[in-house]
Each structure stands twice: as structure tokens, then as C-alpha cells.
Amino acid sequence: MPDAAYQARHFINGVFVDSADGQKLDRVSPSHGIVVSQAALGSETETQAAIKAARAAFDDGRWSSLAAKERAAVLYRVADLIEQNEERLAVMETLESGKPISQSRGECGGAADLWRYAASLARTAHGDSHNTLGADILGVVVKEPIGVVSIITPWNFPFWILSQKLPFALAAGCTCVVKPSEMTPSTTSMLGEILVEAGLPAGVCNIVLGLGTPVGSLMTTHDDVDMVTFTGSTAVGKMITKSSGETLKKVALELGGKNPQVIFPDADLENAADAVTFGVYFNVGQCCNSSSRIIVHEDIADAFVERVVALSRKVVFGNPMHPDTQVGAIVTEDHKAKIDGYIKDAISAGAEICIGGQVLDVPGLGDQFYQPTVVRGVTPDMAIAREEVFGPVLTVLTFKTFDQAVALANDSTYGLSAGVWSENVHTCLEFCRRAQAGTVWTNTWMDGFPELAFGGMKQSGQGREIGRYGFEEFLEVKSLVMRIGRTRAPWVKTD
């Protein structure tokens, strides 16, 4: 444990600063109940200054006009420094979010790969040429950085999600203003130190710490911001779509999910049960990709649920700082109460709790934890089957036919991810084609790669991040129409 609370500061125009009014926000660790960081609490003053710095840095070309090779070199250095700082970042991530230290190490250290991949893309931005438009015309389509990008991130994977956005925006030549969640500000602030060491020019990335209002809302409405990329709840995503509409900014949204895994009787059921257990308890279910509902064939439902319940008993819940812990704390007391509310409502509506369903008291750490929970007897209309619970809670639905399974999987306002388990390639392929989801996994869950675009259909979001598609989101398209001959006939008749 660190000796003292980390002091997280804004990073504006290359300088670390406190808020002009001196305001700070304490973060109490969800697992340990002590103040682990104090973050400057930003106001409009700091937000305006950060946007001004990003605008100036973009307009004078100190970053956007650099050769992509030079931009890539900075991003590669950032990746190396992230790896060198992995432990420091991971400890802070765990203390602020409550997630297990092994997972934080994977996320923070692993994020270096996102930076390296984005660096490799920096040199690939290119457009098209058209040499068939007539004898004297050459058409060229070029890609340009879109401009100043506001990046707003949530608390559940603070450093990872930041790294799904920022290096790709920087690789494209954009300048940025970043706002992390007020609950997990510190690793983003620490990244500021890494950016300085890596040689990123001042003003290219600015970080403002603080609340959705006023900081986030100004970042989505300010005239000098060209694009907003947001990860968070669908409710706030909808607000941002509206608020940014006044200035017609480009908006990319990564929002919630209610992700199904469909299990057919011919699947490798041992593997499927393990992946379902992982999919629902990873990050205590506080995960946009949580497989919070399974749709299992009725012939195997009893045995399959029994298997998942048995595995649930073996998952190590507890102290996030212990290296063997697999599942840590719930992010806030309020959120724990919300999870518990879903369970109580489901029980009143006739659902049956197979395991869990209660707050979990971890000796020496208190009760900001929740038991691994499996709920059966759920009908598709219940809130627990439709809404994002964002806790370690699995709901079970059953099906008889393939068509029923697809209909249940798609019966959601969300469309982030889905999974199918079967040894029959035709079953898997047909499911993949019919699933309304931005990612479909077959016989696995939550494997991700920097190369593969990530994002949601329906109310899970718009736009894509990571991969080539994610990089392209930060590029604007410009067509150059160049007359290269002397054949243009005058429009105005002068004689």
C-alpha cells in the first residue's frame, strides 16, 4: 500500500496544476475504505484552458504536421514507459477501482500493446487517387486528423479504455483533452507524467480531472472541440449526443451491454461453463462486455447451470491486493445497493436464486462486495434480464429451437457483444450472421486484439474503436480536385 494518498493534478499545456480554486476530491478505496487519492476538482476555468491549449497545439501543427514516423516514435516510447511503470499504475488502479491486482497488472501493462499498435498505424494513413476523371484532372482523396478530440472515460477500466482511444487519436495527428471518471482519476494523471517523459509536445494531450458537469459537459459543447469519444453509460451517451449536436461534432460512443451467450447441446460444455463463469464475474461484472445472460438449450439447462454454480463456488472473491484474488470490490456503496435492488425485484417477480444474491462481507475489509450470483426462473420481460445490472449476476433463459435462441439473444435494446457455443460450424456461422452485436465470439468469450474493431450496435454505441476502423474514426476525408491541363473552358463569355 502507498504511504500517502496520491495527489492527482490536471495536466494542461504541458504543466501539472491544481484547480484555480484549490478544490479537491478524495477517492476512498472501495475495498480498503481509506482515502487513496486526492484529485484536483476541475471547473470551467481548467476545462477552458485545456481546450484552448489543445486547439492551439492542433492549429500550429506542432503535432499534426509532424511526419507520422516521428509521431509513432513518441507513441512507442510511451508504450515502453507504461511497461516500466506497470506496478505503480496497477496498484493505483486497484486501490481506486477495487479490482484484483493481477487484473490491473494485465490491464495497465497490457495497454502498452495498444500504444504500440496505434504507433504502427500512424504511418499507414493514406487516401486514394483517381486518374480516370478526364485528361486534365487528377483527383486525390487525402486523410487528415479531425482536430481537437475530447476523450471521456469511465471507472471500470480506466487505463485500458484511455489506451483504446488516446494513442489512436494521437497517431492520427489529433490533439486531445481527456477527462477520466471522478472515481478513478489517478492513472490518467500518471499517464501525463509518462507523456512528458516520452517527449509529447506540450498542449497535445491535456487532462482535466473532475465531474461530468461542468468538465465533461463543456468538453462536449465547446466550439473549439471537433470530436467527442465517450465510453460510459447509455444514459450519459444520449445526453452527449444531444449536447454535442448544437455544434455538430463527430461523436463516437461506447456504451452499455446486456450480452448473451447461447449454449447449444453439442457444445464443449465444460469449456462453455468456464467461459460463462469468467464472463459474468470478471471485474465483478462491472464490465460492458459482461456475459450477464445465458440462453441455454432446455435439454441441458439443469446440468449446465449446476456446473456454473459449482464453478462459481470456486472463484476467489476477496481482497483485491492479494495476488490470488480473481474478483474484487463493488465500485461504490450506491452501486452495490443498485445490484441488490435488481436481485430483490427479481425474487419478488418469481425468479429463483441458485447461488448468491447477497452482499458479501470480506473479513477485515468490510462489505462493499457482492456474492457470485446465478438467477433462474427469469422471464425475458424482467428488469434483471433486460437492464445492465453491472454486478456479478448471471441470469438464465432457456430455448428449444435455433430461431428462438436468436430471437432471445437479439431481444435487447443493447447490441455490444454476443457469444455462441456449439461444435457445429454451421450453427456458429448462422448465429454470427444473425446476432445483432458489434462483436460475436464463437466458442470463447472476451478475447480481444488491438487489430479488431470494437463497438456496439443499437443502443450500445456508435462508431468503432481500436483496429484500423478505430484509427480511421479520428481522420477526416478531404478531396483534392486538381486541374493539371489547360483545357478548362471559361464559364463567362467575354467576347
Residues that bind ligand NAD (CB under 6 A): 152-157, 161, 179, 181-182, 211-213, 216-217, 220, 231-233, 236, 239-240, 254-257, 288, 388, 416, 456, 461
Cell 516500466 found at: 84
Minimum Å gap between C-beta 414 and ligand NAD is: 9
Of the candidates 315, 263, 320, the one whose C-alpha atom is nearest the C-alpha of residue 293 is 263
Q: How far is CA 370 from CA 292, 343, 472, in A?
A: 15, 11, 40
Question: Which residue lies nearer to ligand NAD by CB, 18 or 107?
Answer: 107
Cell of 46: 481548467
Question: Which residue lies nearer to ligand NAD by CB, 253 or 327?
Answer: 253
Q: Which of 46, 86, 93, 254 is catalytic?
A: 254
Question: Which residue lies nearer to ligand NAD by CB, 149 or 161?
Answer: 161
What is the residue-wise DSSP string for 62-109?
Answer: TTTTS-HHHHHHHHHHHHHHHHHTHHHHHHHHHHHH---HHHHHHHHH
- What number of CA atoms fall less than 13 Å from residue 268's CA on the CB side? 7
Q: What span, in angstroms and rounded, lies between the C-alpha atoms of 184 and 92?
A: 9
Question: Which residue lies nearer to ligand NAD by CB, 81 or 393?
Answer: 393
Positions of E strands within 345-453: 352-355, 359-362, 366-370, 373-376, 393-399, 414-415, 417-421, 439-442
Minimum Å gap between C-beta 284 and ligand NAD is: 12
Q: In the chain, what's the furthest Cα-to-Cα distance?
A: 96
Q: Which of 288, 354, 465, 473 is catalytic?
A: 288
Residue 3 CB contacts under 8 Å (≥ 6 apart), including other chains: none
Minimum Å gap between C-beta 10 and ligand NAD is: 14
Of the candidates 249, 220, 246, the one whose C-alpha atom is nearest the C-alpha of residue 232 is 220
Contact (CB, 8 A) for 118 and 75: yes
Question: Which residue lies nearer to ligand NAD by CB, 417 or 427?
Answer: 417
Question: Which residue lies nearer to ligand NAD by CB, 269 or 440?
Answer: 440
Residue 42 CB contacts under 8 Å (≥ 6 apart), including other chains: 10, 19, 179, 208, 209, 210, 211, 214, 215
Say how far residue 290 (Cα) sits from the centre of its chain: 12
Q: What span, in angstroms and rounded, lies between the C-alpha atoms of 131 and 136?
A: 9
Minimum Å gap between C-beta 175 and ligand NAD is: 19
Residue 47 CB contacts under 8 Å (≥ 6 apart), including other chains: 177, 208, 210, 214, 215, 218, 219, 222
Minimum Å gap between C-beta 107 and ligand NAD is: 12
Minimum Å gap between C-beta 216 and ligand NAD is: 2
Minimum Å gap between C-beta 273 and ligand NAD is: 24
Question: Which residue lies nearer to ligand NAD by CB, 336 or 376?
Answer: 336
Positions of E strands within 260-399: 260-263, 293-297, 352-355, 359-362, 366-370, 373-376, 393-399
Cα radius of gyration rounded to whole Å, the chain: 24
Q: Are strands 227-231 and 457-458 parallel, antiparallel or unpaired?
A: unpaired
Determine whether 288 is an active site residue. Answer: yes
Question: Which residue lies nearer to ligand NAD by CB, 105 or 179?
Answer: 179
Determine whether 423 is an active site residue. Answer: no
Give the three-class secondary structure for 28.
strand
Say how far residue 375 (Cα) sits from the centre of its chain: 27
Minimum Å gap between C-beta 164 and ligand NAD is: 8
- Which sequence positions are flagged as catalytic? 254, 288
